Amino acid sequence: MKLLRYTPFGLVAILFLLPLLPPASALVEDEQEAPKQSEPTLAAARAAIGATYVRWGRARVELDKEMMDSILSSDFYVSLYGRKISREKFISDISQERPGSRLTRFDTDILTVRKTEKDWTVVIAEKLEITASGPDGETRKAYSYWVTRDGWRKDGDKWVVTFSEAIGHENWEPGTTPPIKGW
């Protein structure tokens, strides 16, 4: 049995109907709709969020609680493998000095930026280096690599993080260099 598309009539039908079909882009839901007048473009959002991640990394290394506080929204929370951590607890935990160790690197690479209905979702990779004194007094570096999904929104003229969800992470003991580019 011949299929319709292989018959002369089928070819004519396809050629006739093809111009009437909507373009392929209209058949797929556009995830990155054109921004409204007051909304930033994807490129502008990526740049502003990227600049804020740089400030965040500096605040983490310097234990600048005031800067951390200004970057997190009032309703911010962390989702850590099924456990929800409040804004206050998170800031308290990450802004304390740790005897014998110090965070010396906190770099963020933006992997994806996506506009959601009312906010932005950003997936990032974080490289953390911790300098620690060993029992023998020798200084060693430990490494941690995190991938998180973060919520962002523009609050007036600044960008704030609304949530951070751990997607995955891996740690390496002092003396072991991670098998990741940039280390």
Q: What is the pLDDT of residue 153?
A: 97
150-177 pLDDT tens trace: 999 999 999 999 999 999 999 998 889 9
Is 0.95 surpassed by the pTM of this model? no
Lowest mean pLDDT among 3-7, 34-38, 89-93, 108-112: 3-7
Cα–Cα nearest to 166, from 57, 54, 77: 77
Is 31 in a helix, a strand, or coil? coil
Overall average pLDDT of the 115-132 stretch: 96
Q: Token digits for 144?
A: 């941690």
Q: Is residue 163 classed exposed, middle or buried when 0-12, 13-18 and 19+ CB atoms within 10 A define those classes?
A: buried
Which residue type sits at 36?
Answer: K
CB 86 within 8 A of CB 77: yes
Q: What is the pLDDT of residue 18?
A: 39
Q: What is the pLDDT of residue 154?
A: 95
Q: Token digits for 4?
A: 């319709």
**All domains of the chain in start order, with CATH:** 40-172 (3.10.450.50)
Residue 165's φ and ψ, nearest 5 degrees, are: -120, 120
CB 140 within 8 A of CB 134: yes
Overall average pLDDT of the 17-22 stretch: 43
Residue 24 has pLDDT above 50, yes or no: no
CB 153 within 8 A of CB 118: yes
Taking the C-alpha atoms of residue 107 and residue 60, their distance in angstroms, rounded to an integer, is 10
Quick one: how many helices (H) and strands (E) in the chain?
5, 6
Residue 28's φ and ψ, nearest 5 degrees, are: -105, 135
Taking phi first (over 0 means left), then psi (-120 to 50 degrees means alpha), and beta for anything else, what does residue 156 get?
Answer: left
Taking the C-alpha atoms of residue 125 and residue 148, their distance in angstroms, rounded to an integer, is 7
